[in-house]
Structure 1
Amino acid sequence: MLVTRIRTSLEYEIFSASEFFLNMLVSKKSQLILEEHLGVDYIDSNGSMTPVYFQKNIDAMGGRFVSFPAQAGTINVDYTVSVVTNNARRLSEAAIYPIGRLPKKTIPCLRPSRYCESDVLSAQVQALFCAQGDGIVLVESIIDWIQANIQYEVGCSDSTTSAADVFEKRKGVCRDFAHLAITFCRALNIPARFCVGYVYFEEPPQDFHAIFEVYLGGRWIKFDPTRLAPPDNLVVIARGNDAKDTPFATIFGNIKPIRMRINIEQEDPYSDLHLKAGDEQAAIIGR
């Protein structure tokens, strides 16, 4: 069992009437929320602060997001949550199911998607890997290849970067690593999906983190191709076929992100594990 306490603070400068959709709330699927608070405040040109009315929504995969309108001025968003997740010992073996045995709900996770062109990279993947034997061993060999061949480089990609781009350029960040791993798995007929959330890691500074899940042995299993943190420590925000389904922020209007600060503390009450990331590790947009 892992107890995670999270505080996320966001600040935006708004130049015209805008609509915000923020995918930052912890999912209630297979996670126990102990305490949660969300506040959105508007600051006008005179410095006066007023609360903003917002709505909480749920997407098709169980992800929760907040939406609200805002006028010209400044918006501050403050989200705190304490959540319990299960980080029990992982399976050492899990079989790859034949296509005919897969649950129908996993089939979309075998198809190419916007950022995971498994059809485009199929020949290269088949040449690199052989989908035989234990599934966990095969997925770990995919991660080993990514670790050996793809450089983690902050700022080297953007919202248009796909797995095929990462395969060619040989560098990326967490979402790119996840997209490439998902693409490899799908090309080997292993259902795989994108997963984003909060987790403690020492470097780089705290940010929203992307990993992936594969369907093996009759269950979804988390893997982190960056190996920045134990995958089961991730507190899930949302899941989808790729990052297209789990955008952190969708904003319609003329705005400028000013600040994003994420503080994470994780501890296992039944062990000596106690990890904390404080304000000194805050990620500042535009720095």
Structure 2
Amino acid sequence: MVRYAVRRLVLLIPTLLGVSIAVFLLRGLIPGDPVELMFFGQSVDQETIEIVRRDLGLDRPLPEQYLKFLLRALQGDLGTSIQSGLPVTQEILNRYPATLYLAISGTLVAIVLGVSAGVVAAIFRDRLWDTLIMAATTVGQSMPSFWLGLLLISLVSVRWGILPVMGSDSPRHLILPALTIGLITSALIARMTRSTLLEVLNEDYVRTARAKGLREMRVVLGHAMRNAALPVVTIVGLQFGNLLAGAFIVEVVFSWPGVGEMAVTAINQRDYPVIQGILLVVSSSYVIVNTAIDVLYGVLDPRVAYD
């Protein structure tokens, strides 16, 4: 098991290196000069443009630019924001806890709703509850997060006045964005829970437990669910990584002061160092979370570690 964990952690190094290369090369896909795009529509002389280009290291050969970018990133230096003049690392660290808070809350909501719905659907297979839950998950998977967020704002905040519309001043501000994320994410978790649980319920040891006269709920939760949990854990981990890397739209809809809202603002302002820094951080977060899930999977199922 230890060897498996070490092997996964060693593989993390080239993966993160590949992420840094991809993030660095993304700017080459932007048509035109990145520095000139930053000042598009502004009255800026050529001397200022050259100074900014030199400060960003864009006047150096590409390999040298990447090495400089990588060494600075390893030291925690992601550059300086063009708009605020503050270190990008500092700005991201100020915003990242809010994104992490939202991702954790949304994931917890998704686990509670998704696993519960999946278990009920599996127990009542091909009956009314199963049909209703599967229909709801189909709607949930096809529903855009921004549309659901606006719908919740319209009903819960504007019409009923129960919760605040946007902001982050109190825990009450977290409920709607977490619910938006949780409802959509729970659809996939519910489907996966139902599918894996139905497979496990046909196993011999489950039939043996039923033959002993155990109650159905105890058979499902005490025996079947334990073995059906592994694929669900994987899905939950992947969705959590997705939320860390991509809850941008929800953050913008609810004015949640996380990295996503910061990224949208940076794109609108053409703040190139901030955009690059955010891409590197969220991509690395996704890779690290996935590696952690791989290791956890090996802990839960030792057969994976020995394959």
- What TM-score bracket applies, with the shorter chain setting the length? under 0.3
Q: Which has the higher helix share?
A: 2
Query: What's the TM-score, normalizing by structure 1?
Result: 0.27
Q: Which has the higher strand share?
A: 1
